[in-house]
A and B are shown apart, each in its own frame.
Chain A
Amino acid sequence: MDDLLADFLTETHEGLVALDSALVRLERAPDDQPTLSEVFRLVHTIKGTCGFLGLPRLEAVAHAAENVLGRYRDGTLAVTAGGITLILSALDRVKAIVAGIEASGTEPAGDDAALIGALDAAAEGQAVEPPPADIRHALDSPPATEAGAIDVARPDPAPVEAPSAEMATTDLAGGAAPQTIRVSVDVLENLMTLVSELVLTRNQLLQLARAHQSDAFAVPLQRLSHITSDLQEGVMKTRMQPIGNAWAKLPRLVRDLAHELGKKIELDMRGAQTELDRQVLELIRDPLTHMVRNSGDHGLEAPADRRAAGKPETGRIVLNAYHEGGHIIIEVGDDGRGLPVDRIRAKALGNGLTTEADLAQMSEREILRFIFAPGFSTAQQVTAVSGRGVGMDVVKTNIEKIGGTVELTSREGRGTTFTIKIPLTLAIASALIVEAGGERFALPQIGVVELVRVGAAQDGAPRIERIKDAPVLRLRDRLLPLVSLAGLLRLPPAAEDAGFVAVMQVGGQVFGIILDRVFDTEEIVVKPVAPILRHITMFSGNTILGDGSVIMILDPNGIARAAGVGLDTAVEEERRAPAAIGMRSNAQTALLLFRAGDGGPKAVPLGLVARLEDIPGDRIEMSGLTPVVQYRGALMPIVPVSAGWVAPDGEARQPVLVFTENDRAMGLAVEEILDVLDEALEIQPGTGRPGFIGSAVIAGRVTEVIDTAYWLARAGDDWFRGGVAARRDAVRPRLLLVEDSAFFRHLVVPALSAGGYEVTAVDGPVAALRLREEGVPFDAIVSDIEMPDMDGIAFAQALRAGGTWSEAPLIALSSRAEPADVARGREAGFTDYVAKYDREALLQSLADCLSAPLAA
């Protein structure tokens, strides 16, 4: 019997019970309009549904009864006892037919002509009122007998004695109903809570019993334990629903999508019967819908493109669900074009989510994960369907919220598959009980890939090694970044020579958590933490263990973020930071300290440095008078910081700071790399020594901060040409810098703050205008001209059109400084136009503008 029919039967039973009592009420008070309406509606519903399900016999009876009731309701026919009896007979027939359907799955055969005739006659107003008892019995008998002996079709049933017929009818009505009952979700939730508590108490009892060895309790405890497990399973089952329920709307959605987009799409759903907790089901429904929509819209190509690619015209979206070790895995895949890695890379760079240097080191898989960043969409056009860039990040957040993970694999031209792994239920989870820093914690098993015993004590056990201060573990030829749980939680660390590493997979990131000890696994009931502790993202909840103690439940996602593992960190920070404030000069800046030439240590903002290299002396060659090195398939000029530099001989290595922008690279030769520090950079303007913007106190020592622009210029003068545009706002007290290139932001902000300005840098006019709306005041604005989305010209026009900044001096900073460009800039409202990147000219221009703010 299919689900639809089962639902119908349940509903009809409920309706029939309600009808019985309503009809009796009606008989007593024939003029009671609400009751009449209710009766009519109930019969009407039954009729409507069975027409839909293809149950003609049932429909005919219900229809005839409805006709009579309709006339009662309209007041064109008086309610009579005979009429009610007739209706009741019809209901009995309906019950009998329903019972037949329940038993055999199809309508039993039978002839209702007499009953329908009587009903029709009644509807006509004919006072055909045969003796009620007779009618009832005569009418009751055939269906009752049929139902009692299914599959024996008897068109002319032998008369059956009234009492037995009555009994049969009663039995059928009574026996048929409770195959399914409706229970409110609240009751189930409550049951689940109680069972959870019971499980905890059982665990406590078991632990006590183990400790005390009281034999008398052993047997009943064992039984209690089993019954509790069975009960837990049973209650969980009541909450389980097939995932197909969450997919029910997808075929229609895909059909509409195909129609709208002019594509041919086939939806293949597998494992729809896989069950999971209804709470999880509800939470996963929207993300799934979104992902299927994305697959159809972005993933699959138009039929012509598919033909050209040698693929069948009809694209496929495959949904697949299955159980795996206490989790449910859901795959959403398509055989479309795959994710465009290059576009994602460009977009991530454009959005300032990463730097060129970081990108160069990322695997394709890591790059693909940018699609989970907020506001990220590579769709070239925003369609009604998707492409607004609000989506995959929400999908990821929602899945993580229920302790799940989402991963993706993609092959260009072959398709994309998302794999979601979520726990079957949120109420009870399996967790490892671990110890770090002398405290115990529960680590949910969903993210744990494996446990590795580490330490020097055991022979052959891998050891934790350190690169600088970062602990790592070499595991099967892979270098696994490690975080110390004790360190993260600011607990005293234990000796590292023996312990465990829990290898975690969170999203696409694999990392290890250093633990002191691992006890065992335990079923835990996740309880939310008190409101005053919610801000600690390292914990997802707390629970009570078998021994009665409270234990905190670790949140692998929170740990990954706190540890700064992988790209999700950057995204998170991006989210936390006020969107518009890119970088403030008085905020902490990571600085690279190095030694070169005379004097004390030198520093450069780490953000400017793409890579650190140790280049063997014999690889440094001379090109004319410039030392160069073959680097990543190109020639990289080497600029020494100290005068009188000589390339080291032979095998000796030369430390080099590599700066890159677009395809160009430049190496700054230094003597020694000292350290990386986070410091608030307060630069005192220097003595005017070329190549240094000033000095600052870093780590207690006076340190000269190098002017990167100066050294870049020495490597060749083409650094500031090309497509990169930079925007800077510099004002004596407050400057806004609008510049889409992170590189130039890093370059200009320190220079300007050295010039005595407080600089706020944003990555584009849109962010700048947002600041304006927030009412942030600036004394002057420096803007790049060539920027995506909105260029400097349009930005200037927007500023001059009105608003709080309409009078502020506005300086253009551009690599295109031809007279025509300057004229165009002035026309748009720029106060001054400075070539990129002439630091002196910019500072001079700022000084001029601010001393005479209205000068145009």
Chain B
Amino acid sequence: MQSAVATSAAPPPVIAAGAGEADVFLTLTVAEQACAVPVLAVRDVLGAHAITRIPLAPGEVAGSLNLRGRIVTALDLRQRLGLPPREAAAAPAMSVVVEQSGELYALLVDQVGEVVPLPAGGLTTNPPTLDVLWREVSRGVQRREGHLVIVLDVARVLAIG
């Protein structure tokens, strides 16, 4: 069930699943916006980490970092989502490390929240007015504790360059 959801790449309007079933997601915050990624895609969560900048790389690429001897490419989620850059005085970014075809990528986010089950049936389609950039990477929207959570499609977030 979970893997079926995780790989549903086509426009996933409403996921036809029993109301009782739920996927487990990791919530995170980017520029005040709550997002979520399937917890199964997450390999690691890191605090502040030294990142080597990569000249000439696409703007979304913040650089690369060393995760226990493996080189991980870091993507700035703010950049990727077209949000304003992090303020210099703000707390350093945290990294959510995800795996995609054998390669590790770190998504730089402002804050990592918690692991929560989101009822699979509760995912609503992207509103048609949503920014094109966001519609691209969002699998749907979930209402949770009074605010909206964008459920990110990791594969599409990584599809840059």
A residues adjacent to B (C-beta < 8 A): 197, 200-201, 437, 439-440, 489-491, 527, 529-533, 535-536, 538-539, 542-544, 548-552
Contact = CB atoms under 8 A, between A and B. Distances in A.
Contacts of B105: 530
A263 to B, nearest CB: 50
A549 B161 contact: no
B66 A533 contact: no
B157 to A, nearest CB: 12
A58 B157 CA distance: 69
18 contacts: A489-B55, A489-B56, A530-B64, A530-B73, A531-B103, A532-B57, A532-B160, A533-B161, A535-B161, A536-B54, A542-B64, A543-B71, A544-B66, A544-B71, A548-B66, A549-B52, A550-B64, A552-B54
A733 to B, nearest CB: 34
Contact of B55 (A490, A529, A535, A550): A490
Interface in B30-86: 50, 52-58, 61, 63-66, 69, 71, 73
B158 interface: yes
A437 B55 contact: yes
A533 B73 contact: yes
Nearest to B55: A489
Given A530-B105, A531-B103, A532-B158, A552 B73 contact: no
Nearest to A486: B55
Interface string B139-158: 00000000000000000001
Nearest to B104: A530
Q: Give the one of B50, B63, B69 with max A CB within 10 A.
A: B69
B61 A552 contact: no
A261 B18 CA distance: 78
Contact of A532 (B50, B52, B61, B71): B61
Interface residues of B, number: 22
A550 B105 CA distance: 14
B57 A533 contact: yes
Contacts of A533: 54, 57, 61, 73, 161
Interface in B103-161: 103, 105, 158, 160-161
Nearest to A440: B52
Contact of B69 (A538, A542, A544, A549): A544
Contacts of B52: 439-440, 549-552
A179 B58 CA distance: 54
Contact of B161 (A527, A532, A543): A532
B61 A538 contact: no
A197 B54 contact: no
Given A530-B103, A542-B64, A536 B73 contact: no
Contact of A439 (B53, B66, B158, B161): B53
A529 B161 CA distance: 14
Contact of A536 (B50, B53, B56): B56
A456 B57 CA distance: 34
A440 B52 CA distance: 9
A543 B101 CA distance: 20
Contacts of B73: 529-530, 532-533
Nearest to B53: A439
Interface of B: 50, 52-58, 61, 63-66, 69, 71, 73, 101, 103, 105, 158, 160-161
A543 B71 CA distance: 8
Contacts of B61: 532-533
A536 B61 CA distance: 13
A440 B54 CA distance: 10
Contacts of A491: 55
A440 B55 CA distance: 11
Given A530-B103, A532-B158, 8 more contacts: A536-B54, A538-B56, A544-B69, A548-B50, A550-B63, A550-B66, A551-B52, A552-B52
A550 B65 contact: yes
A484 B114 CA distance: 47
A201 B158 CA distance: 29
Contacts of A527: 71
B55 A439 contact: yes
Q: Give the one of A201, A529, A532, A535 with max B CB within 10 A.
A: A532
Contacts of B50: 548-549
Contacts of B69: 197, 200-201, 544
Contacts of A531: 101, 103
A250 to B, nearest CB: 39
Nearest to B105: A530
A489 B66 CA distance: 22
Contacts of A437: 55
Contacts of A549: 50, 52, 66
A534 to B, nearest CB: 9
* Smallest CB-CB A-B distances: 6 pairs: A489-B55, A530-B73, A550-B52, A532-B161, A550-B64, A536-B56
A548 B69 CA distance: 8
A201 B66 CA distance: 12
Contacts of A200: 69
A552 B54 CA distance: 7
A692 to B, nearest CB: 41
Contacts of B63: 550
A107 B64 CA distance: 62
A657 B134 CA distance: 56
A439 B65 CA distance: 14
A207 to B, nearest CB: 13
B66 to A, nearest CB: 5
A489 B61 CA distance: 15
A532 B155 CA distance: 13
Q: Give the one of B53, B57, B65, B66 with max A CB within 10 A.
A: B66
A443 to B, nearest CB: 14
A295 to B, nearest CB: 40
Contacts of B57: 532-533, 536
A225 to B, nearest CB: 18
A491 B53 CA distance: 11
A408 B1 CA distance: 62
A490 B59 CA distance: 13
A542 B69 CA distance: 12
Contacts of B158: 532
Nearest to A196: B69
A128 to B, nearest CB: 66
A539 B161 CA distance: 16
A542 B71 contact: yes
B56 A490 contact: yes
Contact of B58 (A439, A490, A532, A538): A532
A528 to B, nearest CB: 9
A529 B54 CA distance: 11
A547 to B, nearest CB: 9
A54 B101 CA distance: 55
A530 B103 CA distance: 7
Contacts of B101: 531
B48 to A, nearest CB: 14
B14 to A, nearest CB: 31
B51 to A, nearest CB: 8
Contacts of A440: 52
Nearest to A534: B161
Contacts of A532: 57-58, 61, 73, 158, 160-161
A539 B57 CA distance: 11
A754 B161 CA distance: 38
A527 B53 CA distance: 17
A98 B54 CA distance: 61
Nearest to A485: B55
Contacts of B53: 439
A550 B54 CA distance: 10
A550 B55 CA distance: 13
A539 B71 CA distance: 15
A549 B67 CA distance: 10
